[in-house]
Structure 1
Amino acid sequence: MKIAFIGLGNMGGGMAANLVRAGHEVHAFDLSPEALSKAAENGCATHSAVPDAVAGADAVVTMLPNGGIVKAVYTADVIGKAPAGALFIDCSTIDLATAREVTQAAIDAGYDMVDAPVSGGIAAANGGTLTFMVGGSEAAFDKARPVLEPMAKAVIRAGDSGAGQVAKMCNNMLLAIHMIGTCEALALADKAGLDPQTFYEISSKSTGYCWSLNDYTPAPGVGAASPADNGYAGGFASALMLKDLRLAMGGAETAGASVPLGEHAAKIYEAFVEAGNGGKDFGAIFTTL
């Protein structure tokens, strides 16, 4: 299959490489010359403009920073430029309204489109073990599944258009709450005289079990290996977590949902990012305790 991949950042670069490994012909675009060079090393054909990348494509996959960019790219450079009948898959994490607006514009122009944000981070993007939360019609989902599977450990249809974005904002709000609680518990254990590794051994096998503790322990030298063991470099940047929390807060306001812990988590990450820590892994909240 000929696949155009637009957006080769920390996540997109690894995702595109996995599509190449699966035997697809991948045509890539990014504004960064370094990202394009790496994509070429990974077997992608590279292009200097989006319309060139999507020309003749069976499917277009995008992984872009925000809703404004997603809308601009699709309306200016993808819709009407990709062949009639091409499938569009947007893996960006964006606001629900924009996701639905862009999808409807694509459908009106005769294309199938799904929103398919991801969970798993950079390591999963490189390893082909992402979880895709897909919003779109059943027919569009069936077309998208074989494109997504080489990049995934799970591909799940969340519902109709926009449902993938709803799943993502709820998942990452929960992740932020879990991470802050995990950091607080590890810090409390240490300050109250309990060895943090001993606490990890106990809680990771008890009701405190959660991904942030068991698989991504935010205390250096404790539990599972994570960015905490590398000065909180790499991983999932706190600025991106704040972005996702803001999307969740906007979604909660629109839906009329009460999310007091989500609001508190957003305030904590906002203060952390404003203090200059946006590039650090989101587990670096531990350092504030």
Structure 2
Amino acid sequence: MDRSRTAWASLLLLFMGKELLRDVAGGEKDENTLLMLENSRESDLDEQPPLLQEEPGHPNAGVLEAQDPGLQISSVGVGAARSGNLTFMVGGVEDEFAAAQELLACMGSNVMYCGAVGTGQVAKICNNMLLAISMIGTAEAMNLGIRSGLDPKLLAKILNMSSGRCWSSDTYNPVPGVMDGVPSSNNYQGGFGTTLMAKDLGLAQNSATSTKSPILLGSLAHQIYRMMCAKGYSTKDFSSVFQYLREEETF
């Protein structure tokens, strides 16, 4: 069986940990396994990145890892999945990526090859660190404006036609009532959980430590989301940082 046909037949999307992934990759019944996609949300924090790096060269499994921010922001990503607009950031052997690219393109509108195994994970945690920082900044700006007497919808409109505009302000605004169809207008239910954001920021922190990269705002964002988890926000969408700021008077 040629490698592209194998990719179509054997693509596995695994939301599981390292040991089970090893078992699947190394099992006797997996002669046709070409590709494994690993999603970090369900993998152990200290096991990443990347998976299976300790066991390269298995004859039956070319390992790719794919990270997808659209999928992780569930309220946005579910729609993106249904419409085929996911973004995949893929790391692995380039030949394996080429064999899988056509299939990934059927599931998403953007398929980006990032390099060696682990680079897709790095791209994902960089994206989510920036997302967390921009969400906190948007929440702070909106809270300041509202407490200073501005109408939240008017303030959002001004921000979104000005240089402060970002995805957190114009697509996923954290203030209840400003936008329809986002978690902030549904008591912060659904979406990308605060616990998951704290976990990704922990990965970013680990990466920054190992590469000696200063992430001053990223570290602060990590502290904020960890505090939110400790104060009952763990199951709420990460945009609930606005509610957290509104309720905390001690900063």
On whether the aligned pair clears a TM of 0.5, the verdict is yes
Show CA shifts across 1:123-155 (max 9, x none): 424423221110012211112212322321211
For 2:67 and 2:175, the matched residues in 1 are separated by 28
Q: Separation in 2 of the partners of 1:239 and 1:101?
A: 21
Which residue matches 2:141?
Answer: 185
Equivalent residue for 1:80, pick from 27, 32, 51: 27
Q: Which one of the candidate residues 211, 214, 219 is aligned to 1:255?
A: 211
2:201 maps to 1:245: yes
What is the identity, as a one-letter code, of the residue corresponding to 2:24? D
Say whether residues 1:111 and 2:61 are aligned partners.
yes
Percent identity, aligned pairs only, is: 35
Matches within 5 A, 1:1-289: 58-64=10-16, 69=17, 71-93=18-40, 98-103=48-53, 105=55, 107-120=57-70, 121-122=73-74, 123-125=76-78, 126-127=81-82, 128-223=84-179, 225-289=181-245
Name the CA distance, whole Å, in 2 between partners of 1:256 and 1:157.
25
> Match of 2:196, SS?
helix
Output one character per residue of 1:242-266: Cα deviation in whole Å (capped at 9) or x when no partner: 0100011001111110001000000
Paired residue secondary structure (2:188):
coil
Q: Secondary structure at the match of 1:174?
A: helix
Task: Please tell me whether the aligned partners of residues 134 and 163 of structure 1 are also in contact (alpha carbons under 8 angstroms).
Answer: yes
Secondary structure, counterpart of 1:105 in structure 2: coil
**1:2 shift after superposition:** 8.1
Confirm or deny: 8 A CA contact 1:234 1:280 kept in the other structure.
Answer: yes
CA-to-partner distance for each residue in 1:60-97, whole Å, 9 max, x for gaps? 22133xxxx1x111222332244324222223125696
Is the contact made by 1:96 and 1:162 (CA closer than 8 Å) also made in structure 2? no
Structure 1 residue runs of 5 or longer lacking an equivalent are 4-23, 25-56
Q: Which amino acid aligns with 1:107?
A: G
| Change beyond 3 A, Cα 1:174–1:288 | same
3-state SS of 2:55 partner: helix
- Structure 1 residues 148 and 81 mapped into 2: Cα distance closer, same or farther (>3 Å)? farther
Mapped to 2, the partners of 1:242 and 1:129 lie a distance apart of: 25
Q: State the superposition RMSD in angstroms.
A: 2.1
Give SS of 1:112's match: coil
Distance in 2 between residues matched to 1:116 and 1:267, nearest whole Å: 27
Q: TM-score, normalised by structure 1?
A: 0.74
Q: Deviations over 1:183-237 (max 9, x none)?
A: 0000011011111111111110111111011100010111464100100000000
Q: Which runs of 5+ in 2 are unaligned?
A: 246-251
The separation in 2 between residues aligned to 1:151 and 1:200, in whole angstroms, is 33
- Count matched residues: 232
Q: State how far apart, in whole Å, the 2-side matches of 1:97 and 1:253 are.
A: 15
